[in-house]
Amino acid sequence: MTAWVYILASQRNGTLYVGVTRDLSRRMFEHVQELTDGFTRRHHVKRLVHAEQFERIDEAIAREKRLKGWRRAWKIELIEASNPDWRDLSETWLF
């Protein structure tokens, strides 16, 4: 079963959130609709700006932990390497 590590942003260079999930489509729906109380809801962080797919959930969790330990500048470099315009990838990707 696949797993995803993803980064959300409130806007370009805005508030960032790193998460992990087995079902990215469902999780994005929850974030966009603000269905769960927490950081992303309080800060209106809904734009999917980066996503990485893994075959195993333990690999995804390890990557999420590494990314959460990164400096903000490194996360921004990661996003801009694959998504320089900070497009909302959930609008164009088929999960």
Question: How far apart, in whole angstroms, are the C-alpha atoms of residue 21 and residue 57?
Answer: 8
pLDDT-derived band at 91 (thresholds 50, 70, 90) equals: confident
85: exposed, middle or buried (C-beta count within 10 Å: 0-12, 13-18, 19+)?
exposed
State pTM to two decimals.
0.94
Question: How far apart, in whole angstroms, are the C-alpha atoms of residue 31 and residue 41?
Answer: 7
State residue 51's pLDDT score. Answer: 97
* pLDDT of residue 93 exceeding 80: no
9-65 pLDDT, tens digit each? 999 999 999 999 999 999 999 999 999 889 999 999 999 999 999 999 999 999 999
Note whether 64 and 20 are within 8 A (CB): yes
**Domain 3-85 CATH class label:** alpha beta
State residue 92's pLDDT score. Answer: 77
